[in-house]
Structure 1
Amino acid sequence: MNDEAKEAQSVRVDRVLAHPPEKVWRALTQPHLMEAWLSHSDFSPVVGHGFQLHFDWGAVDGQVLEVEPCQRLSYTWTSGELDSVVTWTLTPTPTGTLLRMEQVGFPSDQSRYYVGASAGWPRFISALELVLESVDEGDVP
């Protein structure tokens, strides 16, 4: 295998949201809200916490790597042969939040994972936007 074939790929999605970082953070970290846009899980935003995300096609194992409330969240995303890292970055804007999701670690010889993530993350983030629209500030602890 040549060096180019060994290089890892990444998927990145940037979205401007009309909601404050605190509300976006809650939707990214509270299991009952995560279930509405991503998956059923036992997630907790605590460094070192291990969790699972459950999908129709199987489960993803994760471990929280980094937590900076309302700013940055990072965790492993392991499924089958894929061992990657998902990082969420929240940047306040005058009208809400610039949300960046980046998943890194797709070996070029595992294109099915890269293709799946490239198609899946924009859909998940669109679903996240719907959750943010449907949840009132007062409804989210």
Structure 2
Amino acid sequence: MNSQSEVSPDAIEFEYDLAEPPEKVWRALTVPELLAAWMMPNDIRPQTGSRFVFAGQDAAIECEILDAEPERLLRYSWRERSDDAAHPLDSTVTFTLARTVSGGTHLRIVHDGFARKAMPAVAMAGAGCRLSLHGTGTPIAANTPRLLLLHAA
């Protein structure tokens, strides 16, 4: 599991404490139909080495499962080709799940290598531009983990 200090300066991090148990959160991250409900249509198979594709609006996002430990860790590469073929977004997404004392899940999402390509204004601010969002209350992004849990019964 990555520690905060091991995350690159151009990562975006999200942390949530969810009431749902890790089993339910894992399903929401690894069952194609459930993942599609909050991300994009996909053909994910949560097995290390398997490749899958998100059907993005502009182009397909090619992914490969780098690590999969059921109910604990899911890490995959994220290769997004854009109109600027010379500068594709090659990054890594990591979901870390930990059971909370109450039986829920502490979910940490790190999109490593994202900020420099996707948010050049933030990258220009210099080193240490990592964006971290922590919350237990109202979700702060449109594609929040709370949405994925609506259908992961």
TM bucket (normalised to shorter chain) is 0.7 to 0.9
Q: 1:124 matched to which residue of 2? A: 143
Taking structure 1 as the reference length, the TM-score comes to 0.77
Q: Alpha carbons of 1:77 and 1:104: their partners in 2 closer, same or farther (altered >3 Å)?
A: same
Question: What amino acid is the match of 1:91?
Answer: A
Contact 2:34 2:152 in 1 (8 A): no
SS of 1:32's equivalent? Answer: helix
* C-alpha displacement of 1:114: 8.8
Identity in percent: 36
Q: Alpha carbons of 1:9 and 1:17: their partners in 2 closer, same or farther (altered >3 Å)?
A: same
Q: Alpha carbons of 1:71 and 1:105: their partners in 2 closer, same or farther (altered >3 Å)?
A: same
Supply the distance in 1 between the matched residues of 2:90 and 2:150 (Cα, whole angstroms). 32
Contact 2:24 2:152 in 1 (8 A): no
* C-alpha displacement of 1:46: 0.6
Greater helix content = 1
Q: Alpha carbons of 1:134 and 1:27: their partners in 2 closer, same or farther (altered >3 Å)?
A: closer
Question: Aligned residues, how many?
Answer: 123
* C-alpha displacement of 1:22: 0.3
Greater strand content = 1
Can you give the 5+ residue segments of structure 2 that lack an aligned partner in the other structure? 1-7, 82-87, 123-130, 132-139
Supply the distance in 2 between the matched residues of 1:49 and 1:67 (Cα, whole angstroms). 10
2:100 is the alignment partner of 1:93: yes
Q: Please tell me the root mean square deviation across aligned C-alpha atoms, in Å.
A: 2.3
